[in-house]
């Protein structure tokens, strides 16, 4: 077992063995977050199932989803979330310019109504625990599909929860992965500012 700051990571073979008993794919079991979460296989299975639905079966536009995740990663100082989803978003061809713009999205002139609506909803949830009526109206106008709106709320809640889990368990990045792409710049809150 390799040791993280708060909970020891299972070695990969043990993580895969536990994952197999709950139907969690090997590729998930290899990630640091699951090598820790698999100490409680039922919780790990729940996490995996939600990710499966949101990442591979979702109806929310993948680019909007990744902007939400990156905003949460930046706003909460979740190095793991930012770093992992930088790679995911780039594989989905989300432009680097868009990912970097979530750091200060209100000044990003290239974002349209949909981006602004979902990022405002994300910030509302991070700040107040709920989406304000104003942001909800903007999301309704931009997305106008009940299934998409339900998934929007679930996505914000899911990655908000993942941020807390990752930070509280002090989940390390996988070996050889550099933090805070592309430049290593972290939010001021990570450095003790703000």
Domains of the chain, first to last:
9-56 (no CATH), 62-191 (1.20.1290.10)
- Residue 1, pLDDT above cutoff 50: no
Per-residue pLDDT at 4: 53
Q: What 3 state SS string does the chain have? A: CEECCCCEECCHHHHHHHHHHCCCCHHHHCCHHHHHHCCCHHHHHHHHHHHHHHHHCCCCCHHHHHHHHHHHHHHHCCHHHHHHHHHHHHHCCCCHHHHHHHHHHHHCCCCCHHHHHHHHHHHHHHHHCCCCHHHHHHHHHHHCCHHHHHHHHHHHHHHHHHHHHHHHCCCCCCCCCCCCCCCCCCCHHHHCCC
pLDDT digits (tens, 9 = 90+) for 41-95: 999 999 999 999 999 999 999 999 999 999 999 999 999 999 999 999 999 999 9
| Mean pLDDT, the chain, whole residue set | 94
The pLDDT of residue 2 is 43
Sorted by sequence, the CB contacts under 8 Å of residue 170 that are 6+ apart come out as 4, 5, 6
Looking at residue 188, what is its pLDDT?
82
Distance CA(160)–CA(155), nearest Å, equals 8
pTM equals: 0.94
């Amino acid at each position: 077992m390799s040791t993280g700051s708060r909970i020891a990571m299972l070695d990969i073979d043990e993580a895969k063995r536990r994952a197999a008993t709950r139907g969690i794919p090997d590729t998930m079991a290899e990630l640091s977050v699951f090598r820790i979460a698999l100490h409680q296989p039922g919780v790990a299975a729940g996490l995996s199932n939600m990710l499966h639905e949101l990442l591979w079966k979702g109806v929310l536009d993948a680019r909007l989803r990744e902007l939400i995740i990156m905003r949460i990663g930046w706003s909460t100082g979740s190095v793991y979330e930012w770093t992992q989803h930088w790679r995911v978003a780039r594989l989905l061809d989300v432009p680097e310019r868009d990912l970097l713009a979530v750091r200060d999205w209100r000044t990003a002139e290239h974002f349209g109504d949909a981006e602004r609506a979902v990022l405002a909803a994300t910030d509302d949830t991070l700040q107040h625990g709920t989406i304000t009526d104003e942001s909800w109206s903007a999301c309704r106008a931009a997305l106008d599909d009940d299934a998409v709106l339900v998934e929007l709320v679930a996505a914000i809640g899911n990655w908000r929860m993942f941020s807390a889990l990752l930070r509280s368990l002090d989940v390390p990045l996988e070996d050889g992965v550099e933090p805070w792409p592309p430049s290593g710049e972290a939010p001021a809150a990570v450095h003790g500012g703000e």
